[in-house]
Amino acid sequence: MAIKQISVFLENKPGTLNRMTAVLAEHEIGLRALSVAETKDFGIARMIVDDVLAATSVLKDADFIASLTPVLAFEIPDETGGLNKLLNVFTETKVNVEYMYSFLGGKKTSSAYMIFRVADTAAAESALIAKGLKPLRQEEMEEI
């Protein structure tokens, strides 16, 4: 049930991020979530899109270096401490978060979601499901 995150290597110079998003826009690929981490010379754009196959194809055709990474996505309750309650379950199941970022639900919902990268996605997913959590599926990304 893990979803696929696209990671794109970007040179750290003006216009590179714009060129990447232009490629996606030209091909009507919807961004659901985006995180950019940078160093002096390069950056990594991590994104969740509505059509992973099309996005990776058009990015590679435009000479971007893109790779897929399995990540977990969970809805966050819209209440004080909502993220903390979710992270409590991660702690109980001994799932370590390598990095995370968020996005809003978009067209059909006002919910927020968190994307989590963990060392062993399958094991973490099984442990978290056993505790009653329901991760988003890849197909749901097209609907959000």
Q: What's the pLDDT score for residue 134?
A: 85
- With b for 16 or more beta-carbon neighbours within 10 A and e for fewer, the 98-109 pattern comes to eebbebeebeee
Amino acid at 135: P
- Residues 37 and 8: their CA atoms lie apart, in Å, by 11
Tens of pLDDT along the chain (144 residues) come to: 789 999 999 998 899 999 999 999 999 999 999 999 987 788 999 999 999 999 999 999 999 999 999 999 998 877 889 899 999 999 999 999 999 998 876 666 667 889 999 999 999 999 888 988 888 888 887 777
Amino acid at 95: V
Q: Look up the pTM and report it.
A: 0.87
For domain 71-143, give the fold: Alpha-Beta Plaits (3.30.70)
Q: What's the pLDDT score for residue 61?
A: 97
DSSP string, 86-139: HHHHHHHTTPPEEEEEEEE--SS---EEEEEEES-HHHHHHHHHHTT--PPPHH
- Residues 71 and 141: their CA atoms lie apart, in Å, by 13
For residues 35 and 43, is the Cβ–Cβ distance under 8 A? Answer: no
Domain spans, the chain:
3-69, 71-143
- Residues 71 and 58: their CA atoms lie apart, in Å, by 21
Q: What's the pLDDT score for residue 132?
A: 87
- Residues 140 and 61: their CA atoms lie apart, in Å, by 26
Q: What's the pLDDT score for residue 131?
A: 87
For domain 3-69, give the fold: VC0802-like (3.30.2130)
Query: How far from each other are the two terminal CA atoms of the chain, in whole angstroms?
Result: 16
